[in-house]
Amino acid sequence: MALLALGLNHHTAPVNVRERVAIGDERLNAALLTLRNVDAVNEAAIISTCNRTEIYCGVRDQDASPIIEWFHRHHHSDLGSFEPYLFQHADQAVVSHLMRVCSGLDSMVLGEPQILGQIKRAYRGASDAGTLGTELSALFQTAFSVAKKVRTDTAIGSSPVSIAFAAVSLARQIFEGFSEHTALLIGAGETIQLAARHLQGAGIGQINIANRTVQRAATLADEVNGTALSLSDIPNALPSADIIISATGSPLPILGKGAVEQALRTRRYRPMLIVDIAVPRDVESEVGNIDGVFLYTVDDLQQVIDENRQSRQVAAAEAEEIVRNQVELFMRRMQALGANDTIRAYRDTMDELRNGLLLKARKQLRLGQDPETVLQQFAHSLGNKVMHGPTRRLRDAAEQGDQAFIENARTLLDLPRKPS
């Protein structure tokens, strides 16, 4: 069986195309089952995130056209609509691609850790649907192990390279016992969404989300087990907020010096971290002069991010070397498994042949035939039957002038070489 991967991602397709082919959790099971029913597909898994929709299959041949047809049919699109954006990989390239994706080497943000969890969910989805087999299961499990090795042996994930990640990393450096602290997020855009997910992943105790449109805040709050607030609720929420991250599109500051000073008095001057990543700024610059307040702007974080991005590039080179080595090991293991299947089939054939001849010999002995004669007949018949297939194929090879086949057969059968 061969491995085949195809799909599109942020390298090959713009976001409006990626949105059209995304397969949500509610549709994943049905998609997997119809994909597995495609002719020549034995195993199937689908990874679908905001940045990629990728199909992994164990197939009987490497003709991708039936899967491409399924892809268009599943999305109710004319054949060829997505072909300019599709990539294809086969066998070793599939192994390398999945290992790189799991390790964060193929991500929009180099080394980002979320993709591994997303792929593990995709793997569980395929497992639950019953569309995984031996080869895809082995591939995904190995890719997970490689991703773990990359995280352990390199520094690719140790330095934040996004504003949201940097803000949360800063908070973790300042506050110990993260589960005992409260975060107030102001806004509900992409950066705040990422910050909320990072905070939840880091184990923050409470997340409050304030936004001009409360419904948008509520949608995000539901995702991270937080509480939605309106902007008018901010003064009441400030005293309990240890960490404030703000990113709105407001043309005027949302947090002023007076409101923060009042909140500090109420919280008895326990320290407060404020990360203002809005442009224009959401927090009056004078807030940074208040004792007990750590105020960081987007420019403060950007310098750290630029330095960290360079260090990740160095770590990525180390990670690529790990992936290359692990791809070679995996392919050797898969090739060995292919030989094991052949060895097992050969042994089963020989066992069936021997047992049939033994049954005949035992019948002859029970009928009183001479044991020596029976043994001679058994040995003669066994030798003839074992040699029949190879002998016929060697003669065919000789007639066709296939000397390479004959030399390989001599090696396989461990025959002595003719003296030169």
Q: Which of 248, 304, 311 is nearest to 276 (CA)?
A: 248
Whole-angstrom distance, CA of residue 36 vs CA of residue 59: 10
Query: Is the CA virtual torsion 202, 206, 212, 214 positive or negative?
Result: positive
Active-site pick, 15, 30, 50, 329: 50
Question: Prior bond to 280 cis, omega within 30?
Answer: yes
Structure token pair of residue 228: 């939605």
102 is catalytic: no
Whole-angstrom distance, CA of residue 136 vs CA of residue 117: 17
Structure token pair of residue 144: 């997970």
Structure token pair of residue 166: 């940097």
Under 8 Å between Cβ of 1 and 58: yes
Which residues contact residue 268 at a Cβ distance below 8 angstroms, ignoring those fewer than 6 apart?
A: none
Whole-angstrom distance, CA of residue 215 vs CA of residue 195: 18
For residue 275, how many C-alpha atoms fall within 13 Å in the half-sphere facing its CB?
Answer: 28
Instruction: Please list the active-site residues.
Output: 50
